[in-house]
Amino acid sequence: MQLINTVLGGLSVGVVYAAFALALVLIWQSTRIVNFAQAPMAMVTTFVALTLIDAGASYWVAFAVALAAGFVLGALVERLVIRYVDHDNHINPVILTLGLFIVLHALAAVIFGSSFTSFPAPFGLSGVQVGGTTLALTPFSIFSVLCVLAVMALLRLLFLKTDLGLTMRAAAFNQEVARILGVRVTRTLTLGWALASLVGSLSGLLIAGGGLVHPSYMDGVVVYGFVAAVLGGLDSAGGAVVGGLLMGVTLSLVSGYLGSGLVPLAALVVLVVVLLVKPGGLFSTSVERAV
């Protein structure tokens, strides 16, 4: 039973990693940038939701407003900051997102404070009872799984079945050619950032549900969510979900049987192994070409 609960607990955490990995996949597919500021952006929108809840708004109203705030925040970051960076050197936007990581942390501490604050959950946090046995599976974790699966399906539909998704991918791969073909590249990139920030906000709300929030509460998700995205493949929404679940279960097993102190090392080992064996990720659709 301990093994079953450890795995179930890992799946519950892995769902959050998967949600964050989906945001990274979305921003990568639409802009070819890895946004390390995604976590503090999600943290800010979570505090927006908490502020509304403390003011008397219902959870679902705060949930919707936080997602909308994430969409707007992503668009503003692209239009006011990212757009003016030299994209010829691909490392420049990445370094800028690391700077945004620090700035947003500092601003959140000033505006919302640095104290730990409880965040409500819309569903129960008690384990499901099966034949007198309590499983490490809560109604809220089931809700999280359904949210992540819905986002994965929508992203696959967007990028594989819609003209908008194909346009976003074209603008991300080659902006000059896309412009020649009539694509409004700047508007497309802004939309990509906005949608990725919205998905990131969802991950922030899911990890906050029933827990404590503070300006740094999303920091650990950056590492594990990034490893999950690399594990599944930055070009695959389904891979991000599988990668997140695998990371959650793996780290839960390591923590439960070897000690929580080895969890960061286990994440590093997974990342190194993936980069050595299959750098594109388990579900990568890219094909190597001989020259």
- Which of 165-202 are b and which e, b meaning 16 or more Cβ less than 10 Å from the residue's Cβ? bebbbbbbeebeebeeeebebeebbbbbbbbbbbbbbb
| Mutual angle of helices 2-31 and 38-54, in 10-degree steps | 110
Give me the mean pLDDT over the 216-224 stretch: 86
Q: Can you tell me which residue has the tokens 């659709």?
A: 285
Euclidean distance between CA atoms 278 and 210, whole angstroms: 37
- What number of other Cβ atoms are within 10 A of residue 8's Cβ? 18
Quickly state the pLDDT bin for 88 (edges 50, 70, 90).
low
Tokens 């967007």 belong to residue: 158
Q: What is the pLDDT of residues 228-254, one digit of tens each?
A: 888 888 888 888 888 888 998 999 899
pLDDT of residue 74: 92
Residue 83, helix vs strand vs coil: helix
pLDDT band at 259 (very low <50, low <70, confident <90, very high): confident
Query: Residue 184 has what pLDDT?
Result: 77
CA 157 and chain centroid, separation: 18
DSSP state of 261: G
Share above pLDDT 70 across residues of the chain, in percent, rounded to a whole number = 93
Model pLDDT for residues 164-195, shown as the tens digit of each residue: 877 877 777 666 777 776 777 778 888 888 99
Burial class (CB in 10 A: 0-12, 13-18, 19+), 288: exposed
Specify the amino acid at residue 80.
L
- Section 192-203 average pLDDT: 91
- β-pairing verdict for 117-118 and 133-134: unpaired
Rg (CA), the chain: 19
Provide the whole-model pTM: 0.86
Distances (CA, A) of 13 to 188, 267, 280, 282: 32, 14, 24, 20
The model's pLDDT over 147-166, given as tens digits with 9 standing for 90+, comes to: 988 988 888 888 888 888 77
Q: How far apart are CA 246 and CA 106, in angstroms?
A: 33
**Coil, helix or strand at residue 184:** coil
E strand or H helix that includes residue 257: helix 237-257
Question: DSSP label at 33?
Answer: -
Q: How far is it, in rounded angstroms, from Cα 141 to Cα 129?
A: 14
Q: How far apart are CA 22 and CA 199, in angstroms?
A: 7
Phi-psi map region of 131: left, alpha, beta (phi>0 left; psi -120 to 50 alpha)? left
Look at the block and give the residue holding tokens 């129960």.
124
Question: For residue 289, what pLDDT band results from cuts at 50, 70 and 90?
Answer: very low
**Is residue 137 within 8 Å of 12, Cβ to Cβ?**
yes
Contact 121, 142 (CB under 8 A): no
Whether 23 and 71 have beta carbons less than 8 Å apart is answered as: no
Supply the pLDDT for residue 291. Answer: 36
